[in-house]
Amino acid sequence: MQKTITFPSEVSGMAINGSCQSTVMFEPAKPDTGIVFIRNDLLEKPEVECLPNYAFVNKRWSSLMKDGVYIEHTEHVLAAIAALEITNIRIHLNCPYLPVISDFSSWGFMQALLEAVPITQTAPKKFIAVKEPLWVLDSFETKGGNRYDSLLLGLPSTNFSITYLLNYPDKEIPTQLAHFSTAKDDQSLSEFAKARSFILDSEYDSMMQLFGENIKKCLMIPSDKTKLRWSNEIARHKVLDLVGDLMLLGKPIKGHFIGFRSGHSANIDMVRLLNR
């Protein structure tokens, strides 16, 4: 069945680019509303529906844009919504940017949504299902001059699951594997909500220009690798990002996704394939 929240709730933090304080207010919504963002800072309070036609990658995060109205940094809030199986919600913003909270993870959003008390509605849940194998294949070159392939597969399945393999031989990141499934005998998605984002020490100066003071909330690799919450925390965060990006479809999904060095760009390409 579809699900919304019982009470409004809000959460605040620094905008992802460090430009201002961002506050998000979650509001209950009727069945079949879907996920809708509202820009309260603009005169007509325009609404941007969470739909694949509006999705794009901006810098190092995922976003929505409709008729020139932007909703920036959607992946972590959408991952929290997916983890709690919420299908109908209205999300009010005081600026274009979702806030960075709980060290670039989804945990703070989950806490705010739990305080709002998720509730089942009477309408049946509508899924998007992977009907045939889909893939996004890409390649990229690192600053060290090494070229690597990345791959994201989408396979038919009766539930929703993700397997992610992180492997960068020329970087000081150990190979990591993370997996979750909605099957009862596997880890629940909520166990991934505290996994934090990361940057490489060598990226610090360039990322400071993107994130501002928020950079202090990122894991620094390799200097922070002994402080990981789990030995595969970086791969776990990649799973979290993929879950949030897939929610740009606007509906829950059934399929098994396998990522190998993939990121936001491949995730959005997969969303577009699923929307055909």
In tens digits, what is the pLDDT along the chain, a chain of 276 residues? 999 999 999 999 998 888 889 999 999 999 999 999 999 999 999 999 999 999 999 888 999 999 999 999 999 999 999 999 999 999 999 999 999 988 889 999 999 999 999 999 999 999 999 999 999 998 776 666 667 789 999 999 999 999 999 987 766 778 999 998 887 655 577 789 999 988 777 777 777 766 777 767 777 777 766 688 899 999 999 999 999 999 999 999 999 999 999 999 999 999 999 998
- Could you give the residue range(s) of every CATH 3.30.1700.10 domain in the chain? 128-274
- DSSP characters for the chain? --EEESS-EEEEEEETTSSSEEEEEEEE--TT--EEEEETTSTT--EEE--GGGEEEETTEEEEEETTEEEE--HHHHHHHHHTT---EEEEESSSBPEE-TTTSSHHHHHHHHHT-EEE-SSPP--EE--S-EEEEEEEE-TTS-EEEEEEEEE--SSEEEEEEE--TTTT---EEEEEESSTTS--GGGGTTPPPEEEGGGHHHHHHHHGGGGGGSEEETTTGGG-SSTTHHHHHHHHHHHHHHGGGSS-EEEEEEEES--HHHHHHHHHHHT-
All CATH 3.30.230.20 domain ranges of the chain, comma separated, are 3-120
- Please give the CATH superfamily to which domain 3-120 belongs: lpxc deacetylase, domain 1 (3.30.230.20)
**Fold annotation for 128-274:** lpxc deacetylase, domain 1 (3.30.1700)
Query: pTM for this one?
Result: 0.93
